[in-house]
Amino acid sequence: MVKSERADATAASGPQRAMARLGLTRDIDLALHLPLRYEDETRIDRLADGREGETLQVEATVADCRVETRARRQLVARLTDDEGESLVLRFIHFYPSQQKQLAAGKRVRVRGELRGGFLGREMVHPVVKPAEAPLPTTLTPVYPTSAQLPQAYLRKAIASALVRAPLAEVLPPGTVPAGLPTLRDAVTFLHQPPPGTALATLDDRSHPAWQRLKFDELLAQQLSQQMSQRERAKLKAPVLRAPRGGLHEQLLAALPFALTQAQRRVADEIAADLAAGTPMHRLLQGDVGSGKTIVAALAATIAIDAGWQCALMAPTEILAEQHFRKLVQVLTPLGVQVAWLTGSRKGKGRKEQLAAVESGAAGLVIGTHAVIQGDVVFAKLGLAIVDEQHRFGVAQRLALRDKLEQSAIEPHLLMMSATPIPRTLAMTYYADLAVSTIDELPPGRTPVVTKLFADDKRDTVIARIRDEVAQGKQVYWVCPLVEGSEAVELRDATATHEELTAALPGRMVGLLHGRMNGGEKAAVMSLFTDGTMPLLVATTVIEVGVDVPNASLMVIEHAERFGLAQLHQLRGRVGRGAVASVCVLLYTPPLSPTAKDRLRAMSETTDGFEIARRDLAIRGPGEFMGARQSGDALLRFADLQDTGMIERAREAAARLLTEQPQAAAAQVERWLASRADYLKA
């Protein structure tokens, strides 16, 4: 290979590697890599009509071009059009070939943003082409790209792939909503829209071509979920029923309170699933404080009564320990042995717990991800409960299910979430789940009042803390960071702890954060839980699961830095008793529009379902999905606000699976390929 050929091969490999990193390896991948926006290069504009800030495409003759070395070296060309209007082109970075392209007397076509300059109107780094180059006949697409992948290279690759891509119809007639184009026509149109296309319909994705892609993608997603449900229905699971007079009835009789109607309803739904003989795959959702833990305990007693074990996995040691304390309190008197497994538990204590799990003596096993580690062997796992399920990855949830050694059957799976799932998400990403909703709070709960304070009112907030503590109440103060950072100007937990210790002499002020070991965290939480410590400064390690009924005030520092779901979870740490409670959101102005929306939502409602709906509207499905995304958005084109399209796709999926299973499989392969597996966990 000669030197120039080697150079060409090396240059070509850079864009090819960049395309591979973007997942653009097949013709269909390229065909479905749609433009971010479009540029209209189909017409020539009059320079005289141009306004500063507008992007224009004009033709003119180069009057002069030279390299200037004033403040810095740059290429400057002066052009004149046929009407005598002048334009300066300025290039801070340039090549000799560009200077040659702009030699005096040449007729060129330039496209760029018009600016006002010292020498008159100018463009900085415009696109320059010979005037005789033919004008495009379609709008020019601008694609999502990355370093080492120029637009020109990507456009050429996509145009070539469009010819070869397998875009033939795989759906039988009558499946696609009336009025929508064929898939090939829709994709081709979106890559090459003709001049005069209303750009607004492309930007908001309301154009029929966009609607076709949305439908196809939603259909594939619905098909994948329904396939998963049907496959699971073929599997076997332990038949778990509560006997008369067993643990289930004993626990209900021992509770010092009556279940709410919502708790009874969802407990019955779960019991019916456990008795069915096919693996339960149910999501139990309810607002903070709605009583999900006791419902989980009732499910556990059904499994234990039937001679099987139950595992409950939580994302943090603090939350796992809260579950452990609560469930030991209600189940130990009934004769149930509860094992406790976390990453911090080592040595003899861990070995004893592992032995109890392996022998079957421990009917209930509670812990963090340590529950799914290789040395944990269950005697007979029949029910797996995952709390705050969106925090666990697909592999972790599957590993918990795999702890049942009998390959012919699977354990039942109950996932719990205090972040309510908006309806459109339940219809799409969670369509394969049965969903139980606790939609009422236990009686006696006092609504939390939420107040917003700018940081300059900090002294007022500290004065309120003194009053609360003096009345024997307890207070949380949450910070986003453990320690200060030069990169981010935020108050940190360590500095705030020092500040509040000085402001409340004679009072015990605790500090809790993720860098502390398990023993240190447990000691601090114990002091706060038993009322010895009136004020706890913490990071978001107390976001979920912490239950201190005497805590009446929650202060969240830099509230503008937190997500809406996280703010709602933190607020849920107070108002857990009959004491009137307040949540103070301390913020540092100026606020971004998104931060304003979040704080406004927090101040206007305490309804977790309304919070979830607004959160979805503000930032999309991201955190609701957790690791189901597997690093990729499973819906790239569809709009989760379009419930009508989701309904049509769901109905069409059910018909296809029954009547045209081969077409259904082809649709899933085209749109989801390997990502379909992530919808099954």
Write out pLDDT tens, residues 3-16: 444 444 444 568 88
> CA 483 to CA 308: how far, in whole Å?
46
Cβ–Cβ < 8 Å for 300, 364: yes
What pLDDT sits at residue 116?
Answer: 87
Higher-pLDDT residue of 182 and 234 is 182
What pLDDT sits at residue 622?
Answer: 45
The two structure tokens encoding residue 314: 């939580």
Of 97-106, 445-454, 636-645, the range with the lowest mean pLDDT is 636-645
Of 179-188, 281-290, 591-600, the range with the lowest mean pLDDT is 281-290
What is the pLDDT confidence band of residue 398, given thresholds at 50, 70 and 90? low
Question: Are 333 and 468 part of one and the same domain?
Answer: no
Residue 485 has pLDDT above 70, yes or no: no
Q: Is residue 328 part of a domain?
A: yes
Mean pLDDT (whole number) for 215-228:
89
Residue 442 has pLDDT above 50, yes or no: yes
What pLDDT sits at residue 155?
Answer: 94
How high is the mean pLDDT of the chain? 85
Structural domains in the chain (count): 4
Question: Are 75 and 157 part of one and the same domain?
Answer: no
Map residue 528 onto helix, strand or coil.
Answer: helix
Q: Is residue 639 part of a domain?
A: no
Sign of the Cα torsion 613, 617, 622, 628 reads positive
The two structure tokens encoding residue 233: 């229905």
Of 69-73, 304-308, 411-415, the range with the lowest mean pLDDT is 69-73
Residue 368 has pLDDT above 90, yes or no: no
Distances, alpha carbon 294 to alpha carbons 90, 290, 547, 631, in Å: 70, 10, 14, 34
What is the pLDDT confidence band of residue 629, given thresholds at 50, 70 and 90? very low
Residue 73: domain span:
43-130
Q: Is residue 228 part of a domain?
A: no
pLDDT tens-digit readout, 232-280: 888 899 999 988 889 999 999 998 888 999 999 999 999 999 999 899 9
Of 173-177, 445-449, 452-456, 535-539, the range with the lowest mean pLDDT is 445-449
Mean pLDDT (whole number) for 41-60:
93
158 sits in which H/E element: helix 151-164
What is the pLDDT confidence band of residue 397, given thresholds at 50, 70 and 90? low
The share of the chain scoring above pLDDT 70, in percent, equals 88
Q: Is residue 60 part of a domain?
A: yes
Question: Are 294 and 361 part of one and the same domain?
Answer: yes
Q: Is residue 423 part of a domain?
A: yes
- CATH number of the CATH domain containing 85: 2.40.50.140
Map residue 285 onto helix, strand or coil.
Answer: strand
Residue 491 has pLDDT above 70, yes or no: no
Q: Is residue 369 part of a domain?
A: yes
Question: Are 11 and 157 part of one and the same domain?
Answer: yes
The two structure tokens encoding residue 399: 């590993």
Rg (CA), the chain: 31
Last-in-domain residue among 605, 629, 648: 605
Amino acid at site 196? G
Cis ω before 590 (30° cut-off from 0): yes
pLDDT tens-digit readout, 22-33: 889 889 999 999
Beta strand 309-313 pairing with 364-367:
parallel
pLDDT tens-digit readout, 572-595: 888 877 778 999 999 999 998 889
> CA 359 to CA 378: how far, in whole Å?
8
Question: Are 297 and 425 part of one and the same domain?
Answer: yes
Question: Are 13 and 60 part of one and the same domain?
Answer: no
Residue 487 has pLDDT above 60, yes or no: no
Last-in-domain residue among 605, 624, 649: 605
Starting at the edge strand found earlier in the chain, the sheet holding 448-454 runs: 448-454, 581-587, 551-556, 474-478, 535-538, 509-512
The two structure tokens encoding residue 80: 């004149």
Sign of the Cα torsion 551, 553, 556, 557 reads negative
The two structure tokens encoding residue 187: 């994709």
The two structure tokens encoding residue 681: 């966990």
What is the pLDDT confidence band of residue 621, given thresholds at 50, 70 and 90? low
What is the pLDDT confidence band of residue 395, given thresholds at 50, 70 and 90? low
38 sits in which H/E element: strand 37-39
Question: Are 553 and 470 part of one and the same domain?
Answer: yes
Residue 167 has pLDDT above 90, yes or no: yes
For the chain, give the longest Cα–Cα distance.
100
Question: Are 519 and 584 part of one and the same domain?
Answer: yes
DSSP 8-state secondary structure symbol assigned to residue 238? -
Q: What are phi and psi of 89, to 5 degrees?
A: -105, 135
- CATH number of the CATH domain containing 589: 3.40.50.300
Mean pLDDT (whole number) for 634-662:
87
> Residue-wise over 426-454: b if at least 16 C-beta within 10 A, else e?
bbbbbbbbbbbbbbbbbeebeebebeebe
Question: Are 14 and 93 part of one and the same domain?
Answer: no
Question: Are 484 and 341 part of one and the same domain?
Answer: no
Q: Is residue 474 part of a domain?
A: yes
**Stated pTM of the model:** 0.69
What pLDDT sits at residue 2?
Answer: 45
Q: Is residue 304 part of a domain?
A: yes
What pLDDT sits at residue 610?
Answer: 83
Q: Match 């196809």 to its residue by tokens.
A: 216
Last-in-domain residue among 573, 605, 637: 605
pLDDT tens-digit readout, 57-98: 999 999 999 999 877 889 999 999 999 999 999 999 898 899
Mean pLDDT (whole number) for 184-198:
94
Question: Are 503 and 575 part of one and the same domain?
Answer: yes
Question: Are 13 and 80 part of one and the same domain?
Answer: no
Residue 632 has pLDDT above 70, yes or no: no
Residue 406 has pLDDT above 80, yes or no: no
